[in-house]
Structure 1
Amino acid sequence: MDMDTIDYEGVFANALPFILDALTSILVAVIVYFVGKWVINFTLKALNKVFAKYDIDPSLTSFLNSFLKGLLYVILILVVLSTMGVQVTAFIAVLGAAGLAIGLALQGSLANFAGGILILIFKPFRLGETIEAQGTLGSVENIAILYTTVRNFDNKVVTIPNGALANNSIVNHSIKPTRRVEMAVGVAYGTDLKKTRQVILETLKKDERILADPAPAVYFTNFGDNSLDLSVRCWANADDLWPVFWDNMETIKESLEAHDIEVPFPQRDVHHFFPEGKPEIKG
Structure 2
Amino acid sequence: MENLQSYIEQLPDLVMAYGLKVVLALIIFFIGKYLAALAKRITVNVLSRKLDKTVSFFVANLAWAVVFTFTIIATLGQLGIQTASLVAVLGAAGLAVGLALQGSLSNFASGVLLVMFRPCKAGDYIEAAGVAGTVDEITIFATRLKTPDNKVITVPNSSLMNGSIVNYSAMPTRRLDLVIGISYDADIRKAKQLLIDILENHEKVLKDPAYTVGLNDLADSSINFVVRPWVNSADFLATRFDLLEKIKLTFDENDIGIPYPQMDIHVKELPAVSK
TM-score past 0.5 threshold: yes
Q: Distance in 2 between matches of 1:242 and 1:50?
A: 33
Cα deviation, residue 149, structure 1 = 1.2
Match of 1:104 in 2: 99
Match of 2:172 in 1: 177
Q: Say whether the 8 Å CA contact 1:132–1:171 is kept in structure 2.
A: yes
SS class of match (1:57): helix
Cα deviation, residue 275, structure 1 = 3.8
TM-score, with structure 2 as normaliser: 0.68
Match of 1:118 in 2: 113
Cα deviation, residue 247, structure 1 = 0.8
How many pairs align? 214
Q: Equivalences for 1:242-257 in 2 at 5 Å?
A: 242-257=237-252
Q: Distance in 1 between matches of 2:172 and 2:216?
A: 28
Cα deviation, residue 179, structure 1 = 1.0
Q: Distance in 2 between matches of 1:187 and 1:238?
A: 28
Q: Distance in 1 between matches of 2:50 and 2:97?
A: 34
Q: Say whether the 8 Å CA contact 2:57–2:137 is kept in structure 1.
A: no
Cα deviation, residue 67, structure 1 = 7.0
User: Which of residues 55, 59, 62 is equivalent to 1:61?
Assistant: 59
SS class of match (1:179): strand
SS class of match (2:176): strand
Moved more, 206-215 or 255-264: 255-264
Match of 2:36 in 1: none
Q: Which amino acid aligns with 1:154?
A: D
Cα deviation, residue 176, structure 1 = 1.1
Please state if 1:204 is matched with 2:199.
Answer: yes
SS class of match (2:252): helix
Q: Say whether the 8 Å CA contact 1:130–1:173 is kept in structure 2.
A: yes
Q: Equivalences for 1:39-58 in 2 at 5 Å?
A: 57-58=55-56
Unaligned runs of 5+ residues in structure 2 are 1-45, 70-83
Q: Say whether the 8 Å CA contact 1:130–1:138 is kept in structure 2.
A: yes
SS class of match (1:204): helix
SS class of match (2:234): helix
Deviations 1:38-89 (A, max 9, x none): xxxxxxxxxxx99998768123323555778999xxxxxxxxxxxxxxxx9x
Match of 1:137 in 2: 132
Max radius of gyration: which structure? 1
Please state if 1:162 is matched with 2:157.
Answer: yes
Q: Distance in 2 between matches of 1:217 and 1:166?
A: 35
Q: Distance in 2 between matches of 1:160 and 1:91?
A: 34
Q: Say whether the 8 Å CA contact 1:116–1:144 is kept in structure 2.
A: yes
Q: Say whether the 8 Å CA contact 1:51–1:61 is kept in structure 2.
A: no
Structure 1 pair 93–51 and aligned structure 2 pair: CA distance change class (3 A): farther
Q: Distance in 2 between matches of 1:91 and 1:262?
A: 79
Structure 1 pair 245–95 and aligned structure 2 pair: CA distance change class (3 A): same
Cα deviation, residue 153, structure 1 = 2.4
Q: Say whether the 8 Å CA contact 1:186–1:230 is kept in structure 2.
A: yes
Cα deviation, residue 235, structure 1 = 0.7
Q: Percent identity at matched positions?
A: 40
TM-score, with structure 1 as normaliser: 0.66
Q: Distance in 1 between matches of 2:90 and 2:50?
A: 34
Q: Distance in 2 between matches of 1:67 and 1:154?
A: 33
Match of 1:265 in 2: 260
Structure 1 pair 155–68 and aligned structure 2 pair: CA distance change class (3 A): closer
SS class of match (1:131): strand
Structure 1 pair 66–203 and aligned structure 2 pair: CA distance change class (3 A): closer
Match of 1:40 in 2: none
Structure 1 pair 97–208 and aligned structure 2 pair: CA distance change class (3 A): same
Please state if 1:227 is matched with 2:227.
Answer: no
Q: Which amino acid aligns with 1:206?
A: N
Q: Distance in 2 between matches of 1:177 and 1:257?
A: 34
